[in-house]
């Protein structure tokens, strides 16, 4: 929902551009009323009256193509903001169990959640540009593209950097790769509305094991995934998993569209980068 404050801030942001967007002749006819409504909205305290004033402001400009387009961007962006905020809150609650199991600090948990959010990108409605979920709260609407939440991709580069070394920090802050993997899986599960697919330490550690065992072309052999999964679980104080259990988990992750495989003499697994909500 667009609140009066969101609408007011948007008008103040584009106020100097309105004559060009509306057309100078048309702007002369409505400018006095627009400025009057903005002034009232800035000083009015009654919530009901502020809703009426903001609705009147929107109504004045929604008939003009350029401002209507900008209003749609505002709606899309605000929807993305609320979506991102809700997901971040949900992740903190759901991943608190991981925090206790892995004995990590609240700071490391929060940083790991931030990394997971930063890895999700949504395809712009304009061209092939993308926006990260975590940056949908950008303060300047004019620089924000309209986002289609049904198309998204996953940028695995930061996890790949962690897998290539024993470093467990990003941007100078502690981060836990298994928590990041769990965060990615929970976000994707939410986007795909596949709430029945279980996400636990097991699924997260297998995904991390796959990432850790990829070759230069991005593929991982099943036996290598098994070895790296259990090696990493041991590093973080978790008991090993049976080979067959790990393979079963890989197939569950395939349902979440986060991994896929290529059949051949030896099955090769890889992480997926582009997803579409069906």
Report how many helices (DSSP H) and strands (DSSP E) the chain contains, helices first.
Answer: 11, 9
pLDDT at 85: 63
Which whole-number Å values give the CA distances from 191 to 95, 109, 152, 166, 188, in the listed order? 17, 21, 9, 31, 5
pLDDT at 73 over 80: no
DSSP 209-220: HHHHT--TTS-E
pLDDT at 104: 85
What is the domain partition of the chain in residue ranges?
Answer: 4-63, 85-278
| CA distance between the termini of the chain | 25
The pLDDT tens digits of the residues spanning 123-177 come to 544 444 455 554 433 333 333 344 445 567 788 887 887 777 655 655 556 788 8
Which whole-number Å values give the CA distances from 31 to 9, 11, 39, 112, in the listed order? 17, 12, 12, 48
122 pLDDT band (50/70/90 cuts)? Answer: low
Which one of 1.10.3720.10, 1.10.10.10, 3.40.640.10, 2.40.50.140 gives the CATH number of domain 85-278?
A: 1.10.10.10
What does pTM read for this prediction?
0.65
pLDDT at 81 over 60: no
pLDDT at 194: 77
The pLDDT tens digits of the residues spanning 165-205 come to 655 655 556 788 899 999 999 888 887 877 778 889 999 99
pLDDT at 244 over 90: yes
pLDDT at 76: 58
Average pLDDT of every residue of the chain: 79
Mean pLDDT confidence for 114-128: 67
pLDDT at 119 over 60: yes
- % pLDDT > 70, the chain: 76
pLDDT at 135: 41
**Residue 140 — φ and ψ, nearest 5°?**
-100, 105
Task: Point out the least confidently predicted range of 44-53, 190-199, 217-226.
Answer: 190-199
* Contact between 179 and 98 (Cβ < 8 Å): yes
pLDDT at 188: 87
pLDDT at 137: 36
49 pLDDT band (50/70/90 cuts)? Answer: confident
228 pLDDT band (50/70/90 cuts)? Answer: very high
């Amino acid at each position: 929902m667009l609140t009066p404050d969101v609408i007011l801030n948007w008008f103040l942001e584009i106020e100097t551009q309105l004559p060009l967007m509306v057309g100078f002749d048309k702007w002369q006819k409505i400018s006095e009323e627009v400025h009057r409504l903005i002034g009232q909205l800035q000083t009015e305290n009654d919530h009901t009256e502020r809703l009426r004033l903001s609705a009147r402001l929107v109504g004045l400009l929604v008939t003009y193509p350029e401002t209507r387009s900008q209003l749609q961007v505002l709606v899309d962006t605000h929807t993305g903001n609320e979506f991102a905020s809700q997901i971040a809150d949900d992740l903190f609650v759901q991943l608190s169990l991981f925090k206790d199991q892995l004995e990590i600090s609240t700071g490391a948990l929060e940083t790991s959640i931030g990394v997971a959010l930063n890895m999700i990108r949504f395809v712009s409605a304009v061209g092939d540009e993308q926006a990260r979920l975590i940056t949908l709260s950008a303060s300047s609407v004019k620089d924000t593209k309209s986002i289609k939440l049904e198309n998204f991709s996953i940028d695995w580069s930061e996890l790949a950097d962690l897998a290539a070394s024993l470093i467990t920090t990003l941007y100078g802050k502690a981060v836990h790769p298994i928590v990041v993997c769990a965060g990615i899986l929970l976000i994707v599960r939410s986007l795909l509305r596949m709430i029945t697919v279980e996400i636990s330490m097991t699924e997260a550690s297998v995904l991390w094991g796959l990432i850790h065992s990829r070759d230069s072309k991005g593929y991982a052999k099943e036996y290598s995934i098994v070895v790296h999964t259990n090696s990493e679980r041991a590093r973080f104080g978790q008991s090993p998993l049976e080979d067959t259990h790990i393979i079963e988990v890989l197939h569950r992750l395939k349902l979440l569209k986060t991994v896929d495989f290529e059949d051949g003499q030896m099955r090769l697994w890889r992480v997926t980068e582009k997803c579409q909500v069906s």
